[in-house]
Amino acid sequence: MDEKTRNELLQLFQGKLNRAMRFYLETCSRCGVCTKACHVHESMPHVKYIAAYRAEIVRRIYKKYFRSQGKLWSSLGQSKELSEMALEELYEAAYSCTGCRRCMVYCPFGIDTQMIMSIAKLLLIGASTEPEILSMLADMSIEKGRSIDVLKEGFLTGIKNLEAEVVKKWKIEAGETAIPIDVKGAKLLYVALAGAHSIIPAAAVFNAAGENWTLSFFEAVNFGAFVGDPTRTRLILDRIVNEAKILEVKEVCICECGTAFRVMKQMAGKQPFEVSSVTEVHARYLREGRIKLDKSKFEGAVTYHDPCQIARNGGVMDEPRYILDRLTEDYREMAPDPRYNWCCGGGGGLVALGEETLDFRMKSAKVKADQIKSTRATILATACENCHTQLDNLNEHYNLGVEVKFLTSMVADALVRH
Amino acid sequence: MATLYYLILVPMVYIAFAVFLLGTAIKLVKLYKAPKHPSTLQIFPEQNPKWLWALYDTFLLPTVRKHNPLLWVFLMIFHICLVLLIIGHIELFRDFSIFQAVPHTIFLGKGLVGLFLSVSLLFFLFRRFVSPNRELSVPEDYYLLILLFLTVLFGSQMDWARAWYEYGEMGVEDYREYLMSLLYLKPDVPANVLFAGHSFMLVVHVFFANLFLMSFPFSKIMHSFLALPMNKLRRG
């Protein structure tokens, strides 16, 4: 690696060194308490998959260039030069970590490995060695934001075609729109994913609850966050923030996408609207008696996979259980404490990388498959697109014999008139 | 030899404290001058009041207790004994009525504190010889543990000599005279300290302690200051 490239990469590294990051990089005592925290390590016991080891790969470069110890006594902390080989190590560390932050629950200091891995991801972007497809998807999202006026018509036609499906699930009054779009002054802006499965059931539930809602032009997923680029994460996020401001909505409701929810909830900053997940909104409708569910709709035991970004990292834990309590008589918990629920193994952009990561995703999530199997449930519900895809893959790979379902779809299918 | 003893007991102590105090202060200022993270880093479910839970996490190490109970026992023994030893060293300067609320001869614990501390340090050291801790460890981890062990061992020997073998040649009054002279910047090493039968133990103890203090700001021992704010970040 030439000096110029290294300096540019170190500039990127420096840019990530805020207070929390410096705390995390200064403090690890390598006590090893996090050994059992990572699903990858528990499924494939290799030291390189221990959270502290992953973080140390970044920390060694930090020691070399940003810490006096690395300059005074380099070998003491095994500080390491930023080189091509170091980039390869960073790639493996960053893209074998799903950013589930389960290790944070174990660490006596609460070190956030996902955050440390964001340095690795940014350095990979700087060196143009990041996964190309994630970068491309992030760019496409940003481009959509810029050319929305051109794309609007095609989008509206596509949505119009879905309306009949929505009505099949929940009949609306004459003159009402099944999927309202671009409604200024609507109370709630629903941000879905690209795909009918993310729009139809949610629309049916909103209509059933009599919600004054409107559908966003943009898809919720934030590929900028997956690829670890703060600038692109912000640009993708801002498309929705601006839309919500223009429409003067009071609430932005994010579909079943963990990353999208966490990014919007925690990174949007102070805004004139509230941010909620669709699961929270559905639980609220149930509490307020705005919708009613048929408890006999689903046969067999049901279990629920807490998406890491929505539960452990987003705080939505009670709501899905409240909903499931009204959907089934036989609900079975996966873990006694949702904080300790195993990651599905598909986060951090791994599912978006598709076939390329399939073998690793299956091997590294064996503990998740075992956890699902031990519930003996026949329906596996979840509230995240990434998790759903990964759980579907696991179901097939490990012959789990479950039906993987979106919680929103279950709510929509079980809707009953008052 | 007396010159070497003097160099370790006087100039090196001043240098070590200067490096420790300045290094730690500069490091903390540098860390706190860095911008705050723009969003929350908390883990859910949240419990309130958050600061109280952060204190609980910092001082009672519940995550270690849950996931590695044996390590937790030694960590708790180690840190409690460390506090008792720090109190003991403060009492070497002069009497503090607050510490004498439980009447005792200096040091607290009749020599057992140093013993527990030494055993804990050996445990921390030997567990690093076993996989996966062996692969996770870097030289700094061994360096600090060995340095602390040697500091504690030689320091404790003086305590054990007095507490267990009634060795009275070098007593609290001698240390007090030496330490107060350092404090008032009028260094004077009493003959009893310099030429007593086990003076070399004191000198070796101070030597390793000096090295430890000088390593402090440049090492993971900074967790002494950072554990609480970090746990607060996790609690939100």
- Give pLDDT, residue B111: 82
- Pair B100, B134: CB distance under 8 Å: no
- Give pLDDT, residue B193: 80
If DSSP codes are grouped into helix, strand and coil, which group holds residue A328? coil
- Flag residues of chain A having pLDDT under 50: none
- Give pLDDT, residue B160: 81
Q: Which of B39, B219, B223 sits opposite A109 (nearest CB)?
A: B223
- Give pLDDT, residue A327: 97
Q: What homologous superfamily does CATH list for B2-27+64-235?
A: Transmembrane di-heme cytochromes, Chain C (1.20.950.20)
Instruction: State residue A251 phi and psi, 5-degree precision.
Output: -145, 135
Taking the alpha carbons at both ends of chain B, their separation in whole angstroms is: 56
Q: Which of B40, B43, B71, B141 to mutate to test the interface with A (most CBs of A within 10 A)?
A: B43
pLDDT in tens, B22-46: 999 999 999 999 999 999 999 999 9
- Chain A partners of B39 at a C-beta cutoff of 8 Å? 266-267
Instruction: State residue B86 phi and psi, 5-degree precision.
Output: -65, -45
What residue spans define the domains of chain B? 2-27+64-235
Angle at CA A310, nearest 5°, toward A374 and A406? 60
Does residue B196 surpass a pLDDT of 80?
A: no
- Please give the Cα distance from A61 to A357 (Å, whole number): 27
Q: Give the closest-approach CA distance of B43 to chain A in angstroms.
A: 5
- Please give the Cα distance from B70 to B90 (Å, whole number): 31
If DSSP codes are grouped into helix, strand and coil, which group holds residue A190? strand
Between helix B11-33 and helix A19-27 the angle, nearest 10°, is 140
* C-alpha count within 13 angstroms, C-beta hemisphere, residue A139: 7
Q: Which of B65, B228, B233, B235 to mutate to test the interface with A (most CBs of A within 10 A)?
A: B233
The fold of A133-287 is: Uracil-DNA Glycosylase, subunit E (3.40.470)
Q: Which of B22, B29, B31, B41 to mutate to test the interface with A (most CBs of A within 10 A)?
A: B41
Q: Helix, strand, coil: what percent of chain B each, to 5?
A: 75, 0, 25
If DSSP codes are grouped into helix, strand and coil, which group holds residue A275? strand
Q: What is the side-by-side strand order in the sheet with A251-254? A: A213-215, A188-191, A251-254, A274-277
Q: Which of B30, B37, B143 sits opposite A76 (nearest CB)?
A: B143
Between helix A51-66 and helix A19-27 the angle, nearest 10°, is 110
Mean pLDDT of B202-215: 96
Alpha carbon distances (Å) from A65 to A1, A14, A68, A106, A367: 16, 9, 8, 29, 38
- Give pLDDT, residue A271: 94
- Please give the Cα distance from B233 to B41 (Å, whole number): 6
Of B57, B172, B45, the closest CA to residue B107 belongs to: B172
The mean pLDDT value of chain B amounts to 92
Alpha carbon distances (Å) from A305 to A222, A387, A405: 21, 8, 10
pTM (2 decimals)?
0.93
- Give pLDDT, residue A150: 81
Q: Which of B43, B63, B141 sits opposite A33 (nearest CB)?
A: B63
- Please give the Cα distance from B123 to B75 (Å, whole number): 10
pLDDT in tens, B124-174: 999 999 999 999 999 999 999 999 999 999 998 887 877 777 777 777 888
In chain B, the residue whose alpha carbon lies closest to the alpha carbon of A265 is B39
- Give pLDDT, residue A366: 98
- Pair B100, B183: CB distance under 8 Å: no
Does residue B100 surpass a pLDDT of 90?
A: no
Q: Does domain A3-130 have CATH number 1.10.1060?
A: yes
If DSSP codes are grouped into helix, strand and coil, which group holds residue A111? coil
Of B213, B141, B236, B50, the closest CA to residue A30 belongs to: B141
CB neighbour class for B158 (10 Å; exposed up to 12, middle 13-18, buried from 19): buried
- Please give the Cα distance from A265 to B80 (Å, whole number): 41
If DSSP codes are grouped into helix, strand and coil, which group holds residue A237? helix
Instruction: State residue B44 phi and psi, 5-degree precision.
Output: -105, 160
User: Are residues B220 and A28, on separate chains, in Cβ contact within 8 Å?
Assistant: yes
Neighbouring residues of A262: CB distance < 8 A, sequence distance ≥ 6: A309, A310, A313, A314
